[in-house]
Chain A
């Protein structure tokens, strides 16, 4: 065996990965007559000791337990969404939205996230809110009687809630969603009607808590955004609406927490 041949197999010789017992004998015989290759084999064995010590030093490292808990919750949420999707195949689009919201929540609630990811999430949430506000303002120009942007507080006080619209009345009447006091904010621009007048003309259901907001901390203040939502999306959110005219757009008030998580929704009929 030459030194070059030895060089090719010394790593495997030192780690007992050599396939052939005969090659091993020949290689060891070479070290007996070659000081350079003998020194190299010793160096390789020292390296093995160092690598073993390093492996042993870190072989008890593992991910923190909270990660497992969060992943299990994520698994359960995803599976629940999948089951719902199999019941109503037309709601795949919402499933994607749902999982995105779940991810945003995860971004905010898990301590393990690095600061730059939090900033990315914050930027994304800010963009969504700005977009929603812009849409609301734009729509209020089109139909000034709409109450576009209200600050609500989830206080225990109870107000009279207007009667729900016909097709959703049975389910929503039984719903325990918290009632909220609506405090009209100053109008964004001159209106033909005051917000309170607009509210009086609106028929709204109770707020229905959104399942993916469960567990999120409800802040003292939240923002209500008036949105147009496809019927299919509302069905996917758990509202008992007919799947007919799935593409029909319905008006709704979306209550969004200051952390950007949508907390509850109610249907509005003007």
Chain B
């Protein structure tokens, strides 16, 4: 049996620049879902996600020659373009988004978001799972953007700190500290920290010392 090696993104890019439409299609197939999901997770909007995928690949078609392999990977380049567009759109629609978020916050308060939603070992029923997913989605969407993006890239897309730092354009240490802070915020929003009497007292003592 003859094994065919899967061409790298960079190889497909070279073929694409030589006019190979199939190479472009292959690269698109490989990367569009990730970019779509990234934009969706950052914004909560399918329309925005679609627009971002379209704009990213249109620009990629136009400016593929600007890609410099010594400065990063094709996937990092594509995500970088997507990030730029997502943040620009979110800034433009911030007022609208914040109104939605307020509505959602109100809905969550009235519908009762699952409190400390899952026990570590309990299997999730479908209802619990959908409640959990919705609660986490809303909590992630309400994070400030620079915290949200590290959660989306590192926790949802399972990227390494290095990959995330390439996309965001900041040091690895910044990614690490933002992620840590973002997780604390999520734990607080989702009320996941259950303290016993002893731990609560310990927590109060630690806070007063800081």
**Interface, chain A (partner B; CB < 8 A):** 3, 8, 10-12, 15, 17, 34-36, 38-40, 42-51, 53-55, 57-59, 61-64, 67-68, 70-72, 74-76, 78-79, 82-83, 99, 110, 112-114
Contact = CB atoms under 8 A, between A and B. Distances in A.
Given A35-B196, A75-B24, A58 B40 contact: yes
Interface in B80-138: 116-118, 120, 124, 129, 132-133, 135-137
B36 interface: yes
Contacts, number: 147
Given A34-B202, A35-B198, A46 B32 contact: no
B42 to A, nearest CB: 11
Interface residues of B, number: 60
Contacts of B202: 34-36
Nearest to A54: B136
Most chain B CB neighbours (cut-off 10 Å) among A3, A71, A112: A71
Interface in B189-210: 190, 192-196, 198-199, 202-203, 206
Interface in B29-77: 29, 32-33, 35-37, 40-41, 46-47, 49-51, 53-54, 57-58, 61-62
B25 A72 contact: yes
A45 B186 CA distance: 12
A53 B25 contact: no
B166 to A, nearest CB: 17
Contact of B120 (A46, A51, A76, A78): A46
B194 A39 contact: yes
B187 A112 contact: no
Contact of B58 (A35, A46, A74): A74
Nearest to B116: A46
11 contacts: A35-B199, A36-B202, A44-B183, A46-B117, A53-B129, A54-B137, A54-B140, A61-B46, A63-B54, A68-B32, A99-B62
B21 interface: yes
Contacts of A34: 202
B13 interface: no
Given A49-B118, A51-B155, A43 B21 contact: no
A58 B57 contact: no
Interface string B1-31: 0000000000000001001010011001100
A43 B187 contact: yes
B194 A42 contact: yes
Contact of B36 (A11, A36, A39, A62): A62
Nearest to B35: A63
Given A68-B25, A112-B47, A50 B41 contact: no
Contact of B32 (A17, A63, A72, A99): A63
